Amino acid sequence: MEYRNLGRTGLKVSALCLGSMQFGWTADEPTAYQVLSAAWEAGINFIDTADVYSRWVAGNPGGVSETIIGKWIKQAQIPREKLVIATKVRGRMGDGPNDEGLSRLHIIQAVEASLRRLQVDYIDLYQTHAFDPAVPIDETLGVLDDLVHQGKVRYIGCSNYPAWRLMQALWTSDEHNLARYNCLQPHYNLLGRMEFERELMDVCRTYGLGVIPYSPLAGGFLTGKYHRDQTDVGSGRNVSSYFNERSWTILDVVEKIGGELGGKSASQVALAWELANPVVTAPIIGARDLDQLKDNLGAVEVKLPPEMVQKLNEISKEE
């Protein structure tokens, strides 16, 4: 497994990050343990979760993914210092007025709850899941800075921030000598590039932020399991919006390149395209079983020639 620095921090993380939104949702607890153990054995040391996973599922109170990860660490006897654990705060975790957001009160409550569920003394990367327009940025960064000084959090990052919000946060940290965001978790894949590339990519490159994109396989569309003759659009869940000619054309090229590389899967090619971008640290994979994990892991062995990267860039260019 290849390892990379997480931005300008001293953390070295695996070139693939294991996402865990599926734990306790599309992957039950025993399956989650299998995926976690297989990922660890393959060299993945970087695990991403969030306190809210997966509260949108009926009967799921949130915190289930964190709880599963915490149990696995203890059960598998994984040395804590060998793991890089990332979790997030922002989403609603209860029915009260202070049970969501990025206020000092909610973040203090949320980090303690995450530490308990994960059964750890500190979180390596604590991320704000999305910006909160109702809370001044200096309040949010102030409490995150406190958590860093208290040793409960090592580094901080953010997710789903537009460029101007990210720049506002970086400026505030610099102006007030507060811990700064060292990592961005953006939505980024071959089918949706501009959300990250238009402005955020230059910000991350210039200021040395690590980048850990989520949904690198476009919700499963770039695995090749959907086809042009798909008639049951409902089965596509959140990928049905990709059922258009542009997406099918991109998928065709991805699969063709996989064939030219000796039978590499569409997933491996799509992940390898992201790994070829020097700004990207580690795409987040969301394997819900061992077969998906094994397939995704193969991406680190795929080195796309420059002409293939260029072909993918050209075919996926957004106007």
CA 166/CA 186 separation, integer angstroms: 12
Helix, strand, or coil (residue 7): coil
CATH architecture of residue range(s) 3-219+267-302: Alpha-Beta Barrel (3.20)
Could you read off the pLDDT tens digit of each residue along the chain, which spans 319 residues? 999 999 999 999 999 999 999 999 999 999 999 999 999 999 999 999 999 999 999 888 999 999 999 999 999 999 999 999 999 999 999 999 999 999 999 999 999 999 999 999 999 999 999 999 999 999 999 999 999 999 999 999 999 999 999 999 999 999 999 999 999 999 999 999 999 999 999 999 999 999 999 999 999 999 999 988 875 655 445 788 899 999 999 999 999 999 999 999 999 999 999 999 999 999 999 999 999 999 999 999 999 999 999 999 999 998 7
CA 13/CA 269 separation, integer angstroms: 21
Residue 225 C-alpha from the chain's centroid = 22
Cβ distance 45 to 85 under 8 Å?
no
- Eight-state DSSP code of residue 102: S
Helix or strand holding residue 181 (H, E): strand 181-185
Q: Is the pTM of this model over 0.75?
A: yes
Catalytic one among 33, 53, 226, 242? 53
> Positive or negative CA dihedral for 136, 112, 10, 160?
negative
Helix, strand, or coil (residue 261): coil
Length in residues, the chain: 319
- Strand pairing partners for 285? 18
Active-site residue, 161 included: no
Report domain extents, the chain.
3-219+267-302
